[in-house]
Amino acid sequence: DTGVSQNPRHKITKRGQNVTFRCDPISEHNRLYWYRQTLGQGPEFLTYFQNEAQLEKSRLLSDRFSAERPKGSFSTLEIQRTEQGDSAMYLCASSTTSDRGRNEQFFGPGTRLTVL
């Protein structure tokens, strides 16, 4: 089992550019989550998928952000027209539904985005 993987691990971009991150969950996990972590803070929830359906989105997920999970496996998070305030660590997690819904989220190593 390789765990949750994220690519790239680091991304440096200029303000106004678009960026896309990829997350590959643990293979048997049907739920996938995106979080954002800024320096000195805990992770903040952005969105989650069950299979290919996006079931919840945070108010933090502005119109410039879009997430997809087209086949219910890997997911992508795209940020359009990046701003310096988007600089953060973007974390992906996955879980599997169990009885009574007590799911545990397993996190990937994250993608660190720096917007210049």
41 belongs to the binding site for other proteins (CB under 8 A) = yes
- The whole-angstrom separation of Cα 91 and Cα 88 is 9
- The whole-angstrom separation of Cα 19 and Cα 73 is 20
Minimum CB distance to other proteins, residue 16 (Å): 28
Footprint on residues 5-34 left by other proteins (CB under 8 A): 31, 33
- The whole-angstrom separation of Cα 42 and Cα 35 is 10
Count Cβ atoms below 10 Å from residue 10 Cβ, excluding itself: 10
Q: Which of 18, 51, 56, 62 binds other proteins (CB under 8 A)?
A: 56
- Dig out the tokens for 40 from the structure: 């000195």
Number of residues that bind other proteins (CB under 8 A): 28
Q: Which is nearer to other proteins, 14 or 39 (CB)?
A: 39
- The whole-angstrom separation of Cα 91 and Cα 44 is 9
Footprint on residues 71-110 left by other proteins (CB under 8 A): 91, 93, 97, 100-110
Q: Which residues bind other proteins (CB under 8 A)?
A: 4, 31, 33, 35, 40-45, 48, 55-56, 58, 91, 93, 97, 100-110
